[in-house]
Chain A
Amino acid sequence: MLRKRVIVCLDVRDGKTTKGIKFSENVDIGDPVEMAETYYREGVDELVFYDITASAERRGIMLDVVRRVAERIFVPFAVGGGIASVDDMRAVLLAGAEKVSVNSQAVRNPDIISTGAMRFGAQCIVLAMDVKADPRVPSGYRVVIDGGRVETELDARDWARRAVELGAGEIVVNSIDTDGVKNGYEITLTRMISEAVGVPVVASGGAGVPEHLREVLVDGKADAALVASMVHFGEYSIPTIKQYLQTHGVSVRASAAPF
């Protein structure tokens, strides 16, 4: 049986892991390579790095981080943030990432999904979407971009379906409303997207305690759950989260002794 995945998310700015609440008040919290290695040893199933470096000139720093991560962890990881072309995708994949994640750029230019999927395979292309509850659109959820600052015309469910048609192999659904506030994932949203598409759905935004992961993996029908603050600040570790899930009926990967 396929296991549910626990994914750790690291926001990286100028080569440092950073953490903000609702996309503001960012503070540096450590070295992404060292943090990645710690999570790997603890048995994380996958990692995702979002490059939130503001200036394009400093993007090379991120590729260096990706290369160093690839040398030290042997589970899949994705890289997102500032991926605007197939060349950007290629650079990240050649540096050792398994997947690339596109968000705002894919809204502006959906062709990047199809071109990327054709060139590298759908399994490499992750569509991340930031979503806000909004009764004015049919599904009740609207896609927002640029870190939640800009509303789009896109309905979240339609956009997820469209992205999969274009070739996205996985969808990350991040709720702007719950992100960073640790009151739990947006279950209704996650479940709706998961039922709408035939590819894996990763829930993001709102994890505060292990029960939140159980809820979204079971009730929200997510295939994977993304965590950040709850592990970055040492409140919970990957083994304690997984142990909770396993004892509450969610099948997860057992940790293996380092080799």
Chain B
Amino acid sequence: MRIGIVDYDAGNLTSVETALRRIGADFFTTADPDAIFEADRVVFPGVGEARAAMEVLNARGLSEALRRYADSGRLILGICVGAQVILDASDERDVSCLALIPGRARRFPVSELKVPQIGWNGVEHDNQALFAGVPSGGEFYFVHSYYPAPAETRDTIGWTEYGVRFASAFRRDNVYAVQFHPEKSGPYGLRVLTNFITMKEQ
């Protein structure tokens, strides 16, 4: 099982690489749209801003490549901004995204809560394979100002409360997305990454 990490200048990939190394994954990192097809599964991280991320993905032909990769039926895992841009669009400077799953990333509403959300929060989940070995409500590490809002309720597989109850994990067929940072979420995070590279396609 060979994992491809998509590199598109959207922040630091070191921690994702280090986490995959720790769990014994066979992986490579690439910015080449053709090279991702050599991967059995793709991890698609990202920090920063959705619009900046999309500009780089479009300019390098990676948007098209990721759409084709998704069509091939192989598994994709988007992380943080990588999860948000899997949706149709983001409120962050109103940018069109990859549209692999219907929905959009929304700004947290103005409230007493601090934005960005930074820190550990619980993820309630419905025991899908991605969360095997993690109790529902187990904590993961979040850093974000926008949250994923998939259009269809049935696509959500993990829920987190921060002023609003939002989809901290969602999935349609072979495309998975998590708003939290599994690579920085301690034992549960490593567990989720392990599940992603070992689970059967379903």
Contact = CB atoms under 8 A, between A and B. Distances in A.
Interface of A: 1-3, 5, 40, 43, 45, 70-71, 74-76, 93-96, 98, 120-123, 169-170, 198-200, 223-224, 253-254, 256-259
SS class, residues of chain B in contact with chain A: mixed
A43 B12 CA distance: 24
A40 B119 contact: no
Given A74-B185, A259-B190, A198 B18 contact: no
A75 B141 contact: yes
The 4 A-B pairs of least Cβ separation, nearest first, read: A259-B187, A256-B187, A253-B139, A3-B120
Contacts of B161: 1
SS class, residues of chain A in contact with chain B: loop
Interface residues of B, number: 40
28 contacts: A2-B142, A3-B119, A5-B119, A45-B119, A45-B120, A70-B14, A71-B18, A71-B22, A74-B183, A74-B185, A74-B190, A76-B184, A96-B14, A96-B15, A96-B18, A98-B184, A120-B11, A123-B116, A123-B143, A198-B115, A199-B114, A200-B114, A223-B114, A254-B138, A254-B139, A257-B187, A259-B188, A259-B194
Contact of B118 (A74, A75, A200): A200
A24 B168 CA distance: 45
Contact of A198 (B114, B184, B185): B114
A40 B47 contact: no
A121 B143 CA distance: 11
Contact of A170 (B18, B118, B162, B185): B118
A122 B145 CA distance: 11
Contact of A258 (B49, B143, B181, B187): B187
Given A1-B121, A256-B138, A259-B187, A169 B12 contact: no
A74 B117 contact: no
B191 interface: yes
B186 interface: yes
B120 A121 contact: no
